[in-house]
Amino acid sequence: MSQLDGKIALITGAASGIGLAAAQLFAGEGAQVAMFDRNADLVNETAREIGSSALAISGDVTSEADVANAVAGCVERFGRLDIGFNNAGIAGAAAIHEQELGHFQHVVDVCLTGVFLCLKHQSQQLIAQGQGGSLINTASINATQATKGLSAYCSAKAGVAMLTKVAALELGEHGIRVNAIGPGHTRTPMTSRAREVDGFDEAMIGATPLGRLGEPEDIAQMALYLAGDASPWVSGQLLYVDGGITVNELPPGFNPLESRLRQPRDD
């Protein structure tokens, strides 16, 4: 028997990277998956590749109407909701004294407010169903690891970690588990610009005890664990999937203020 037989999942940022890997894995484990992403063309294409168990929904996690419509669309198509994987995010580097307010707010809106909106509307649906569920948020090692140039991203991801704890505290009485995943340095579209910097991959691999960068599938496997019945008493946790890098120091030469890292990228 597959791990998610009969389960219905809504995944944000699902057109590529970690979200896509999770959608593919969840579908392979028997779930039906609503894939929510602002890139309408790409999410439709990837949903078609997964097949009839996937539904593409285009929208923006910073829009409450879009998030509410995504939950409603998932329930209309599949009949219910069991799992929310709130994964959409962006990043971009700027020194605090040069940081534009609009950019700071945009990163926080996507990475933190978007998670709040998803938790709000997903939990409303789960409470109405009365059978519990699992909500999973993508945080980061930067929820606790400060990094030069990433004031907006680090602050937003730290907020996701605390929001996860508060949601777990509030929703536990409804049988709803809420957890966060803290990915380490993973090969996704969001990290591609950083990985173009000479020596970046080598420095990160050297600082990672397991000796490699993460792959989207590594993070998806943790999401699968948290989504399924193997974690019935796990809630309110930030679980790192980082090859062990958080037990080490980040390489001293890593500086996202390098000009090629300043533009936002999607997870």
> What local confidence, expressed as pLDDT, does residue 194 receive?
75
**Domain assignments of the chain as residue spans, ordered by start:** 8-266
Cα 76 to Cα 12, 22, 73, 86, distances in angstroms: 17, 22, 5, 20
Rounded Cα gap, residues 175 and 263, in angstroms: 40
φ/ψ (deg, to 5) at 56: -90, 130
Neighbours of 155 (CB within 10 A): 18
Neighbours of 11 (CB within 10 A): 32
Cα 186 to Cα 36, 99, 144, 183, 242, distances in angstroms: 21, 25, 17, 7, 8
- For the chain, what is the mean pLDDT? 93
Mean pLDDT score, 45-68: 98
> What local confidence, expressed as pLDDT, does residue 146 receive?
93
Q: What is the 8-class DSSP label of residue 230?
A: T
> Comparing 71-75, 186-190, 235-239, which segment has the lowest mean pLDDT?
186-190
Rounded Cα gap, residues 235 and 226, in angstroms: 9
Q: Over 70: is that where the pLDDT of 7 sits?
A: yes
Active site residues: 140, 153, 157
φ/ψ (deg, to 5) at 152: -70, -50
Contact 238, 161 (CB under 8 A): yes
Q: Over 90: is that where the pLDDT of 64 sits?
A: yes
Q: Over 90: is that where the pLDDT of 258 sits?
A: no
Percent of the chain clearing pLDDT 70 (strictly above) = 93
| Nearest partner of 235 among 144, 182, 171, judged by Cα | 171
The answer to pTM > 0.75 is: yes
Strand pairing of 83-86 and 90-91? unpaired
Amino acid at 54: A
Rounded Cα gap, residues 235 and 232, in angstroms: 8
Confidence of residue 249 (pLDDT cuts 50, 70, 90): low
The CATH number assigned to the domain with range 8-266 reads 3.40.50.720
> What local confidence, expressed as pLDDT, does residue 184 receive?
95
Percent of the chain clearing pLDDT 90 (strictly above) = 85
pLDDT digits (tens, 9 = 90+) for 115-141: 999 999 999 999 999 999 999 999 999
Angle of the 101-108 helix axis to the 151-171 helix axis, nearest 10: 30
